[in-house]
Amino acid sequence: MKHVKLDRTDLRILRELQHDGSITNVDLAKKAGISAPPCLRRVRALEEAGFIRGYHADIASDKLGYGITVFTMVSLTNHSESDIAHFAKLIEGWPQVRESYLMTGDIDYLLKIVAEDWEAFQKFITQQLTGVPNIAHVKSMPAMQRTKYAPGVPIDDKTIG
């Protein structure tokens, strides 16, 4: 992986790509204040250095029939490295789990789960999640409404001296 020292131009590129991953290189270069060829070189270097992990479309879940989002806290009975790795592998195979975080404190995992409706969510919980032998406790919190969505991280080019 190539080492990249970020400057203001790199941060502008990252901010713009985070905002709109489908922006053309020409438009990105204009917003970054450079010409297109060096802009493309910088983007490739940022990709190679791991700052840009990929590109995706922000899909409206409700348009595809996923009407509910539920945040579920999972506690495991055993916490050995192999038990945690086994559960993480199971999570990878569950498409309705859209995000997963290994936590510290009272819970071990926080899962973001989407489902078509409450029946589909209950079916997932009872037939898949709670069927895992190492599960000690599951607590779910349904989201009523998403009030903010800002993927990525705050990028401010003023932070580079």
Q: Give, in order, the Cα–Cα distances in Å from 159 to each of 11, 12, 13, 70.
A: 9, 12, 15, 36
* Same-domain status, 27 and 79: no
Which is nearest to 119 in space by CA: 50, 70, 58, 62? 70
* Same-domain status, 41 and 85: no
Range of the domain at 137: 61-142
* Same-domain status, 68 and 99: yes
* Same-domain status, 121 and 66: yes
- Which residues neighbour 30 within 8 Å (Cβ) at sequence distance 6 or greater? none
Residue pair 2/49 in contact by the 8 Å Cβ criterion = yes
Does the residue 97 lie in any domain? yes
Produce one character per residue of 11-41: b if its CB has 16 or more CB atoms within 10 Å, e if not.
bbbbbbbeeeeeeeeeebbebbebeeeebee
Per-position pLDDT tens, the chain of length 161: 556 689 999 999 999 999 999 999 999 999 999 999 999 999 999 999 999 999 999 999 999 999 999 999 999 999 999 999 999 999 999 999 999 999 999 999 999 999 999 999 999 999 999 999 999 999 999 999 999 999 999 998 666 55
Q: How far apart are CA 130 and CA 123, in angstroms?
A: 10
The neighbour count for residue 45, using CB atoms within 10 Å, is 16
- When divided into structural domains, the chain yields a total of 2
Q: What pLDDT sits at residue 4? A: 66
Q: What pLDDT sits at residue 7? A: 94
Q: What is the CATH number of the domain that holds 83?
A: 3.30.70.920
Q: How far apart are CA 129 and CA 125, in angstroms?
A: 5
Which is nearest to 115 in space by CA: 68, 62, 58? 68
Does the residue 66 lie in any domain? yes
Last residue within a domain, chosen from 41, 57, 73: 57
Q: How far apart are CA 35 and CA 41, in angstroms?
A: 11
Q: What is the CATH number of the domain that holds 52?
A: 1.10.10.10
